[in-house]
Structure 1
């Protein structure tokens, strides 16, 4: 009787031990929210350092917003400031931080969108709110304000910082 109980007991012990080890491995491999936040902070810091280095190398004077958008207004324009709900038409050039031009209104046509409704980079949405009709400006957008981790599946690679040169051509209520 004792011998017949030993084999099932040993099997149960081995099974339980394997299951416990599997749970422990899963705990160690699980990525926590804190891990993701920490990784994100690190990447945002790396992007900011790259932009600052670019500005220093090119001796450019830009202003940074709280979100990490860098901007320089080259021509103030006239009229009221752009506000959410306006329809805006822009001429633009978009390049990567290394100078590679990726898009331009000369080839692709002017960009028109309703401010505050999405459909464009969040950095562009934020930047145009600093402008008036006729304004010319430059925006440097880190990945989290541009096309993020994946790029745009066309010309902008994953995790790319982009530079927009814009002119506000038209502004409608």
Structure 2
């Protein structure tokens, strides 16, 4: 009976132990994310080198570099000294655009995309074009060269532009309509 009592006390002591957390079978170190970041950096560098190579082949064109990570040149630049306004948040712009490959092969020809009205930074538009419109003045035509991450990125446009494709967009800004609150304050 004494052995049974000792055995009972040992079982009681072992069963009162607090539960231990289970360890995962496998542990991920985050290396997949690190590898993805490195792949994207390499892809962006290759696209930028390709764009710079194409720009180098067009020595007659004066390319400008934007602070937002794309390049552009003026087809028609405003020479009107009174035309100094560029669109700001909330302004509605009216514009046309065409899209081609960086080499100039047409993807969406001029007139294929309808004239568009866009409220600056308040509607959906691909990143590069959204940033590029803010650099333009009424009546100007500008050609932008966008790396894929500034264009349609990984998903493309689900129609004619594939995954990770750098593009060239020729944009004509027809009008800038000030945000309604600005017009009433002036």
TM over 0.5, shorter chain: yes
Query: Quick check: 1:95 aligned with 2:96?
Result: no
What is the number of residues matched between the two proteins? 150
In the TM superposition, 1:16-27 aligns within 5 A as 23=26, 27=28
Query: TM-score normalised to the size of structure 2?
Result: 0.72
5+ residue gaps, structure 1, are 1-19
Cα pair 1:70 1:141 within 8 Å, conserved = yes
Question: 130, 139, 158: which is aligned to 2:163?
Answer: 158
**Does the 8 A contact of 1:146 with 1:161 survive in 2?**
yes
Aligned match of 2:52: 52
- Name the residue aligned to 1:13: none
> Superposed, which structure 2 residues align to 1:1-173 within 5 Å?
23=26, 27=28, 31-59=31-59, 60-77=61-78, 78-173=83-178
* TM-score of the aligned structures, taking structure 1 as reference length: 0.77
Distance 2:171 2:114 in 1: 13
Distance in 1 separating the partners of 2:67 and 2:141? 21
More strand per residue: 1 or 2?
Answer: 1
3-state DSSP class of the match of 1:160?
A: coil
Larger radius of gyration: 2
**Is the 2:98–2:113 Cα contact (8 Å) retained in structure 1?**
no
Partners of 1:170 and 1:91 in 2: how far apart? 11
**Which 4+ stretches in 1 moved above 6 angstroms?**
none
RMSD: 2.1
Asked whether the 8 Å contact 1:71–1:139 carries over to 2, the reply is: yes
